[in-house]
Amino acid sequence: MAGLHKKRKADLVNEGDDDSVETSDTENASSSEDLSSSESDPGNEKDPEDDDIVNIDFEFFDPTDIDFHGLKSLLRTYLDGEEFGCSELVETIIKQKSVGTTVKTSEDDDPIGIITALNLQRYHQLGFPKEVRLFLLKHCQDKELKAKLQEVWDQAGTALVISERLINCPPQLASPLQHALFDEEIPWATEDEPSEELRNSFKFERFLFVSRVYQDNLEAPKPSGPGDKKGKKKKANKQTATMVYARPEDEFYHRHSSWSYTFPVTSRPVQKDELQPLRLVMLLSPDQAARARKELYKVVGNVALNQPEAAAGAT
């Protein structure tokens, strides 16, 4: 197996007002982790911000059968509330042991994150790829992009990247997870899988990402009509909505993508002052994805490269 990340601890600090763990969609909070802040001596003065710091050990594992229910809980809103073959998707992730990583706080806990890449041609006879394809095409309003999506979906060498984790996982997890998948597991599989067919199935030529982002819920101002006081039409003030990336890596992948599109999540109501949840679909070549990861590692860092196991796993 690919070496460095399996059963490797990442000592990270999670800062936030809420010590609980939430899922990537607030409707999906059902994991069993109990992550609490460390107790302090009430007799000593302390910085108020100390209450917001939680020290957590994260461990990376191969997906296994014991993860089935945890992964199903994590991925059940993958199509934003629409019914799809979630069990089939989870079973596929678990069976593909050579490529795929779960994040846990211990081996016996439910996964709080998953990243893997599935060859769409390899699994094209299953139900869930067809359901995901229809979902993405239905929400693509641009005819040119819809044609591009259809084309790459049916081409050999297209990987669907499944990447979900709890929304308040620390951003430092981004780099080692990307490193594990793209810099270790996929290269390992293309060389060391037992059959040529399997080795070739991981020689990806493009990566399709389906991610979660958020945007200011702005209503564009309307131009004044001909009946304004001066009898002239006023120009609308252009407002650019700010995109907020739930996971740090998505900003870099988006920046380097060949093409992308977004569409709103309508499975739950959004208040006027809330951020609008969106789905971001983007396509990257291996070179584009590598450049994005290089920038990510520079900005966020990559604890995977500092682990003692890295050198041993690279052999």
| 35 — pLDDT class (breaks 50, 70, 90) | very low
pLDDT in tens, 94-140: 999 899 999 999 889 999 999 999 999 999 999 999 999 999 999 99
For residue 273, the model assigns a pLDDT of: 81
Instruction: Measure the CA–CA gap between 300 and 310, rounded to whole angstroms.
Output: 18
User: What amino acid is encoded at 143 in this protein?
Assistant: K
Q: Which of 29 and 295 is assigned the larger pLDDT? A: 295
For residue 102, the model assigns a pLDDT of: 97
* DSSP codes of every residue in 251-307: HHHHHH-SEEEEEE--SS---TTSPEEEEEEEEE-HHHHHHHHHHHHHHH--GGGGS
For residue 14, the model assigns a pLDDT of: 41
Burial class (CB in 10 A: 0-12, 13-18, 19+), 105: buried
pLDDT in tens, 177-223: 999 999 999 999 999 999 999 999 999 999 999 999 999 876 434 44
Q: What is the mean pLDDT of the chain?
A: 80
Whether 241 has a pLDDT exceeding 80, the answer reads no
| 22 — pLDDT class (breaks 50, 70, 90) | very low
Whether 315 has a pLDDT exceeding 60, the answer reads no
- Sequence ranges of the domains in the chain: 9-31+52-218+239-313
For residue 9, the model assigns a pLDDT of: 44
> Which residues, 6+ apart, have CB-to-CB distance to 34 below 8 Å?
none
For residue 220, the model assigns a pLDDT of: 38
| 312 — pLDDT class (breaks 50, 70, 90) | very low
Residues 71/90, Cβ–Cβ less than 8 Å: yes
| 266 — pLDDT class (breaks 50, 70, 90) | confident
Structure-token pair, residue 135: 């979902």
For residue 47, the model assigns a pLDDT of: 57
For residue 303, the model assigns a pLDDT of: 73
Q: What are phi and psi of 79, to 5 degrees?
A: -105, 35
Residues 276/216, Cβ–Cβ less than 8 Å: yes
As separate numbers, helices (DSSP H) first and strands (DSSP E) second, the chain gives 10, 9
> With pLDDT > 90 as the criterion, what percentage of the chain qualifies?
62
Architecture field, domain 9-31+52-218+239-313: 3-Layer(aba) Sandwich (3.40)
Lowest mean pLDDT among 80-84, 200-204, 302-306: 302-306
